[in-house]
Amino acid sequence: MTSGVGAPTRASISARTLRTDRWWLPPLLTNLGLFAFVAYATVRSFMGKWYWVEDYGYLTPFYSPCLSESCLPGSSHFGTPLPELPGWIPLGFVALPFLLGFRLTCYYYRKAYYRSVWQSPPACAVAEPHASYSGETRLPLIVQNAHRYFFYVALLVSVVNTYDAVVALTHGLGVGNLVLLTNVVLLWAYTLSCHSCRHIAGGRLKHFSKHPVRYRAWTLVSKLNVHHMRLAWTTLGTLVLTDLYVMLVASGAISDLRIF
Ligand code: FES
C-alpha cells in the first residue's frame, strides 16, 4: 500500500489497529441487521402470495403499488396497466428498486455500511483494507449522488402507502389498520427527516428572514432530522412487522382482532 495508511508520510505500524476494545462489534451488528432485512425483503418479494387481505383491505407495503394483472383482485388500488408477470419478477417491482435506492443512498445508511460492509474504515484508528480511496467519485459509490432523486420517488411511495392505509379503513377498524397506520406515520417521519429534504426546504438561501415559509419548513425538518438514524432503523423494523402481520392474517395463521 502506498497511499492511505500505507503512505510514506504515515507512521509505519504493521498491526491493523492498536485498539484493544471490541471495535468490531458495531460494524458486525450493523451487518447482521442489514443482512436480516435484505434477506427477509427478498424472500417476501418473490413469494408472490399472502400480501393482500381482501376482507379488511390490508396490502403489504412490499407489494404496493400492485400494478399487474397477476395481482389479486382488489389489491390494485391504481389499476392494472401491466400484463401478467412471470414469477421471477416481484409484484411490487415498480417501487422496490427506488425504495432500495433511497435506503442505500441514505446518508445514515452510508455511514453504517461504509463502516460495516465497505470497511472504509471499519472504525476509528482501524485501517481499511482498500489500497486507495476514491470516495464517491467512481462507480459504484458515485450512485450515492442520486439520493435526491430517490427522495422524490420515496415521497410518492409514501403517498401510495398512505392511500393504501386509508383505503383499508373503509373496511372497518382492526389491529391491522393500526399496524398499517403506524408504519405509514413512521415512513413519513423517516422520509421527511431526510437530509435532502432538509436541503430542499431551506438550502441555498441567503436570508431566512426573506423566506419565512421555507424557514419554518426547514426548522421542522431539522427537528426530525436529528432522529434520522433512529427512524432509519425503526422503519426497517416496522416495514418487516407490517408485512409479517399482513402475511400471517392473509395466510390464515392468525386472525385480525377487530375493534369495529
Ligand atoms: Fe437518509 Fe435521505 S438522508 S433518507
pLDDT tens digits, one per residue of 153-163? 999 999 999 99
Average pLDDT over residues 76-86: 94
**Cα 8 to ligand 1 centroid, rounded to whole Å:** 37
Cell of 178: 393500526
**Cα 151 to ligand 1 centroid, rounded to whole Å:** 8
Answer yes or no: is the C-beta of 126 below 6 A from any ligand 1 atom.
no
**Cα 229 to ligand 1 centroid, rounded to whole Å:** 9
Average pLDDT over residues 81-91: 91
pTM score of the predicted model = 0.91
| C-alpha span between 254 and 214 (Å, rounded) | 47
Return the best residue to mutate from 193, 200, 226, 239 for the ligand 1 pocket (most ligand atoms within 8 A of CB): 193
Query: Which CA distances in Å does 189 have to 38, 174, 220, 229?
Result: 21, 23, 11, 11
Average pLDDT over residues 115-141: 84
Average pLDDT over residues 208-225: 96
With 90 as the cut, is the pLDDT of residue 15 above it?
A: no
Tens of pLDDT, residues 59-68: 999 999 999 9
Cell of 191: 422520509
Closest atom of ligand 1 to 151 CA is 2
| C-alpha span between 260 and 257 (Å, rounded) | 9
Answer yes or no: is the C-beta of 44 below 6 A from any ligand 1 atom.
no
Q: What is the per-residue pLDDT for 1?
A: 60
Answer yes or no: is the C-beta of 194 below 6 A from any ligand 1 atom.
yes
